[in-house]
């Protein structure tokens, strides 16, 4: 079970005031949704000024991506990417289950900006797919939109895998270039945008401020259920650790598996792309796992590498051999049977393997191994002799403990009965605060 909690004091433009319920079309329209966009150039300028970043993992500037597709020539295709591959993340499934119209509004606006004549919603979650289909049946978004379900896999949401799957192939990454904006679905310039990015695009079309100043985050680890919430950029990791009830974590696993491990001395780092990058980490999709006192960073890293080795699409020889070798070495380290040659190999691989695979899986694996060595050298050295008491008691579990479930959303449609705004930062126009009541019939 994953808990959803709206933040106290902070704006929550995406999570909204009633995240446990499905937002109805009436509610979405009453809050200002699906407004026509008479000036797509001005909206693009607003996206750039707000510095909206992609929320799928890489954090690429959304305006640059939209502009690249628009200016490529031909008739583009737009894709709402809801395939949530990182094992610690639940935000995208929640968003599509609870606020399908917000996602579709963002997709329609992306089509208007780029000149696309068709769109896709790409995902694996069956509940979310049904909600999106219901929303499409309730209201025509103004362009043909297909819902395409794929098999869930770590690499299935990688943008070239998305294009390949939509074109009828397997959901596996391809070599770049070409990138989808150059040659995507059916050869057309294609925007593959994360669903949270599109939701924020829709909010930016209505509210000049606030829509890009927060991020959905999924917090896990410790004794509590995983928590989905929305926080401002700039929030220190320490604040999030306290919010999740692990005030003194032993380590922090960042971005799902994308951002590697941080040690507890880095808790003053803030949710800021540049700041996290300077520490060799990253926010990624916003999944953050706080390791409690009874979890060993070595065992968690071994779990993560085992998961990545199992999820490798086995297309690049360097990934097949490199990720598996790192997983086996870390498993040996966790069980206390790894020598110094093994840790020397880990150090060498963590430096030499990034950038050599066709997708980011190999990079994530190398960053995890490297961050363990960099931030926990004494723990690693101790593990050369024997497993620590924690690892001896709880051996690696092949990554199963790293997954979090999507939060439950009440399936019955809700009807908006009152609006009370504004809701966001001082000076911002904010999002509507809606009072919802169950539909009577």
Q: Give, as ranges, the residues between 300 and 339 that touch ligand SF4 (CB under 6 A).
A: 312-316, 319
Contact between 56 and 285 (Cβ < 8 Å): yes
Encoded tokens for 339: 């020598």
Locus of tokens 């999709």? 285
Q: Give, as ranges, the residues between 380 and 409 that touch ligand SF4 (CB under 6 A).
A: none
For ligand SF4, give the closer residue by CB, 155 or 307: 155
Encoded tokens for 357: 């695979």
Stretch that binds ligand SF4, among 35-43, 56-64, 84-92, 351-359 (CB under 6 A): 351-359
Residue 184 C-beta: closest distance to ligand SF4, Å: 17
Contact between 230 and 215 (Cβ < 8 Å): yes
Count of residues that bind ligand SF4 according to CB under 6 A = 13
For ligand SF4, give the closer residue by CB, 50 or 358: 358
Residue 165 C-beta: closest distance to ligand SF4, Å: 14
For ligand SF4, give the closer residue by CB, 183 or 415: 183
283 binds ligand SF4 (CB under 6 A): no
176 binds ligand SF4 (CB under 6 A): no
- What x-and-dash track marks residues 226-245 binding ligand SF4 by CB under 6 A? --------------------
Residue 57 C-beta: closest distance to ligand SF4, Å: 13
For ligand SF4, give the closer residue by CB, 243 or 257: 257
For ligand SF4, give the closer residue by CB, 98 or 365: 365
For ligand SF4, give the closer residue by CB, 155 or 251: 155
User: How far is residue 90's CA from residue 409's CA, in Å, rounded to a whole number?
Assistant: 12
For ligand SF4, give the closer residue by CB, 183 or 232: 183
Residue 366 C-beta: closest distance to ligand SF4, Å: 11
Residue 83 C-beta: closest distance to ligand SF4, Å: 14
173 binds ligand SF4 (CB under 6 A): yes
Locus of tokens 């995890």? 368
Residue 343 C-beta: closest distance to ligand SF4, Å: 23
Locus of tokens 């150059």? 182
Q: Give, as ranges, the residues between 120 and 159 that touch ligand SF4 (CB under 6 A).
A: 155
Beta bridge partners of 147: 121
By beta-carbon distance, which residue lies closest to ligand SF4?
357
Residue 80 C-beta: closest distance to ligand SF4, Å: 22
3 state SS for the chain: CCEECCCCCCCCCCCCCCCCEECCHHHHHHCCCCCCCCCHHHHHHHHHHCCCECCCCCCCEHHHHHHHHHCCCCCCEEEEECCCCCCCCCHHHHHHHHCHHHHHHHHHHHHHHHCCCEEEEEECCHHHHHHHHHHHHHCCCCCCEEEEECCCCCCCCCHHHHHHHHCCCCCCCCCCCCCCCCCCHHHCCEEEEEHHHHHHHHHHHHCCCCCCCEEEEEEECCCCCCEEEEEECCCEHHHHHHHCCCCCCCEEEECCCCCCEECHHHCCCECCHHHHHHCCCCCCCCEEEEECCCCCHHHHHHHHHHHHHHHCCCCCHHHHHHHHHHHHHHHHHHCCCCCHHHHHHHHHHHHHCCCCCCCCHHHHHHHHHHHHHHHCHHHHHHHCCCCCHHHHHCCCCCCHHHCCCCCCCEEEEEEEEEEECCCCCCCCCCCCEEEEEECCC
Residue 158 C-beta: closest distance to ligand SF4, Å: 7
For ligand SF4, give the closer residue by CB, 158 or 230: 158
Residue 173 C-beta: closest distance to ligand SF4, Å: 4
Q: Give, as ranges, the residues between 358 and 377 that touch ligand SF4 (CB under 6 A).
A: 358-359, 361-362
Q: Give, as ranges, the residues between 31 and 50 that touch ligand SF4 (CB under 6 A).
A: none
For ligand SF4, give the closer residue by CB, 302 or 353: 353
User: How far is residue 215's CA from residue 199's CA, in Å, rounded to a whole number?
Assistant: 11
For ligand SF4, give the closer residue by CB, 273 or 315: 315
Residue 154 C-beta: closest distance to ligand SF4, Å: 8
For ligand SF4, give the closer residue by CB, 363 or 408: 363
Residue 161 C-beta: closest distance to ligand SF4, Å: 8
Q: Give me the residues that bind ligand SF4 (CB under 6 A), please.
A: 155, 173, 312-316, 319, 357-359, 361-362
């Amino acid at each position: 079970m994953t808990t959803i909690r709206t933040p106290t004091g902070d704006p929550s433009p995406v999570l909204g005031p009633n995240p446990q319920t499905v937002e109805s079309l009436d509610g979405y329209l009453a809050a200002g949704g699906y407004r026509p966009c008479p000036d797509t150039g001005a909206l693009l300028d607003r996206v750039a000024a707000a510095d909206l970043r992609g929320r799928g993992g890489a954090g690429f500037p959304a305006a640059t991506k939209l502009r690249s597709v628009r200016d490529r020539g031909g008739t583009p295709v737009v894709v709402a990417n809801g395939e949530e591959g990182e094992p610690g993340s639940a935000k995208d499934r929640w968003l599509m289950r609870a606020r399908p119209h917000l996602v579709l509004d963002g997709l329609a606006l992306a089509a208007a900006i780029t000149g696309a004549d068709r769109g896709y919603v790409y995902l694996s979650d069956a509940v979310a797919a049904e909600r999106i289909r219901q929303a499409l049946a309730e209201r025509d978004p103004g362009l043909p939109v297909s819902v395409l379900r794929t098999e869930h896999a770590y690499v299935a949401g990688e943008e070239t895998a998305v294009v390949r799957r939509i074109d009828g192939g397997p959901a596996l990454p391809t070599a770049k270039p070409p990138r989808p904006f150059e040659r995507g679905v059916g050869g057309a310039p294609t925007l593959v945008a994360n669903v949270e990015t599109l939701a924020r695009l829709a909010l930016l079309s209505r509210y000049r401020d606030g829509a890009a100043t927060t991020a959905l985050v999924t917090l896990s680890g410790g004794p509590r259920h995983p928590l989905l919430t929305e926080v401002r950029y700039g929030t220190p990791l320490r604040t999030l650790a306290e919010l999740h009830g692990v005030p003194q974590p032993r380590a922090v696993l960042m971005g799902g598996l994308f951002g590697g491990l941080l040690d507890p001395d880095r808790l003053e780092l803030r949710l800021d792309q540049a700041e996290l990058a300077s520490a060799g980490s990253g926010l990624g999709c916003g999944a953050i796992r706080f390791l409690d006192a009874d979890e060993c960073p070595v065992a968690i890293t071994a779990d993560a590498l085992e998961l990545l080795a199992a999820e490798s699409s086995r297309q690049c020889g360097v990934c097949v051999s490199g990720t598996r070798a790192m997983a086996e070495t870390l498993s040996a380290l966790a069980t206390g049977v790894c020598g110094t040659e093994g840790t020397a190999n880990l150090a060498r691989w963590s430096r030499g393997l990034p950038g050599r695979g066709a997708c980011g899986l190999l990079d994530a694996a190398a960053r995890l191994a490297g961050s363990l060595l960099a931030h926990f050298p004494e723990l690693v050295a101790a593990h050369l002799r024997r497993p620590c008491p924690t690892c001896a008691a709880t051996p690696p579990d092949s990554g199963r403990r790293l997954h979090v479930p999507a939060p439950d959303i009440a399936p019955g449609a809700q009807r908006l009965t009152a609006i009370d705004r504004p809701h966001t930062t001082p000076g911002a126009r904010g999002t509507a605060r809606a009072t919802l009541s169950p539909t009577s019939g």
